[in-house]
């Protein structure tokens, strides 16, 4: 295995990130590229695989992180990216790589795999990774491994119900994600202030009671959701990652305050190690796993 190179591919909503690395030192990228997701979804995948061929001719193993949920034959729960819902990504990867070991998982599970191997969840037997980004999702760790669930959809906490409404998945809703995610805060915050604002900017707006109330309500619901997950799973450690962690000084204290009040055995609460390119690092972690490197 010495000198063998692995390939990681992260299919995101606005870009595809690719990296190669020595399987023994995967955090030191040998090559790293990004390409935009212009054109149809299948065209993006085929162009990405073509780029990957130029990066490494015969990878020892391949790890793939993707939006949506990975079923045996296609991608599900990816309604926000045109062409991705129902796409036969697993088949396309099998056609491309043949007998080369390939592991494919959703982006949040992949990020959790990176945290397990090299980051904030290293050495944890039972843990929880929460991704606060454009969307909202979690990864559950049991026996030191990410639990994917019977249908690959474990941790899709954006679909948790809001007790104040009857909205649910069958109606096209993701109730918790519509309240707590970066997209939700940006949409609601823009309506409040009368101009387009990103979620990150909302946390910097001082003195507007409407914005304060929006953020306070979102963080309260987030903290409650994390507490419910902790009561259910009994994790030793919870790692929080994702693009919204630029406001960690507002987010983490709110969760930390509730956990000892609500959870019989409160877990350790920590920021994730990897924020930028976490799914790409996760793809490399999956590739290392596929290569059999311990």
Q: If you write DSSP's letter for every residue of 211-265 in order, what string do you get? A: HHHHHHHHHHHHHHHHHHHHHHH--SEEEEESGGGGGHHHHHHHHHHHHHHH-SS
Looking at residue 153, what DSSP letter applies? -
What tokens does 22 get?
Answer: 């020595």
Question: For position 124, what pLDDT does the model report?
Answer: 98
Q: Sketch the domain layout of the chain as residue ranges.
A: 5-112+277-291, 123-271
Low-confidence spans in the chain with pLDDT less than 70: 1-3
Report the C-alpha gap between 216 and 231 in whole angstroms: 22
**CATH classification of 5-112+277-291, choosing from 2.60.40.1180, 3.30.420.40, 3.40.50.300, 3.40.50.80?**
3.30.420.40
Report the C-alpha gap between 48 and 177 in whole angstroms: 29
Question: For position 3, what pLDDT does the model report?
Answer: 59
34 phi/psi in degrees, rounded to 5: -130, 140
Q: Quick one: 123-271 is in which CATH superfamily?
A: ATPase, nucleotide binding domain (3.30.420.40)
Q: How far is CA 154 from CA 14, 16, 26, 105, in A?
A: 24, 24, 27, 12
How large is the angle between the packed helices 248-262 and 209-233, nearest 10 degrees?
50
Identify the H or E element spanning 180.
Answer: helix 177-180
Question: For position 276, what pLDDT does the model report?
Answer: 81
């Amino acid at each position: 295995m010495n000198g063998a190179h692995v390939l990681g591919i992260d299919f995101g909503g606005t870009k595809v990130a690719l990296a190669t690395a020595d399987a023994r030192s995967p955090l030191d990228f040998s090559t790293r590229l990004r390409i935009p997701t212009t054109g149809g979804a299948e065209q993006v995948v085929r162009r990405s695989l073509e780029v990957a061929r130029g990066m490494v001719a015969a990878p020892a193993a391949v790890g793939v992180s993707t939006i949506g949920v990975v079923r045996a034959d296609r991608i599900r729960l990816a309604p926000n990216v045109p062409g991705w819902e129902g796409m036969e990504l697993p088949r396309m990867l099998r056609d491309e790589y043949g007998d080369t070991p390939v592991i494919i998982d959703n982006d949040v599970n992949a990020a959790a795999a990176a945290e397990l191997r090299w980051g904030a969840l290293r050495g944890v037997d039972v843990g929880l990774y929460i991704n606060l980004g454009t969307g909202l999702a979690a990864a559950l760790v049991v026996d030191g491994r990410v639990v994917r669930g019977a249908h690959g959809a474990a941790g899709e906490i954006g679909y948790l119900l809001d007790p104040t409404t009857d909205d649910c998945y069958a109606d096209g809703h993701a109730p918790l994600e519509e309240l707590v995610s970066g997209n939700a805060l940006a949409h609601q915050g823009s309506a409040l202030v009368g101009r387009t604002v990103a979620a990150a900017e909302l946390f910097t707006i001082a003195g507007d009671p409407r914005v304060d109330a929006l953020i306070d309500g979102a963080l309260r619901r987030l903290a409650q959701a994390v507490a419910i997950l902790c009561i259910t799973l009994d994790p030793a450690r919870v790692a929080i990652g994702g693009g919204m962690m630029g406001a960690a000084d507002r987010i983490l204290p709110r969760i930390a305050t509730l956990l000892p009040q609500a959870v019989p055995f409160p877990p350790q609460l920590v920021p994730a190690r990897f924020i930028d390119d976490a799914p790409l690092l996760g793809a490399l972690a999956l590739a290392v796993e596929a290569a059999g490197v311990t």
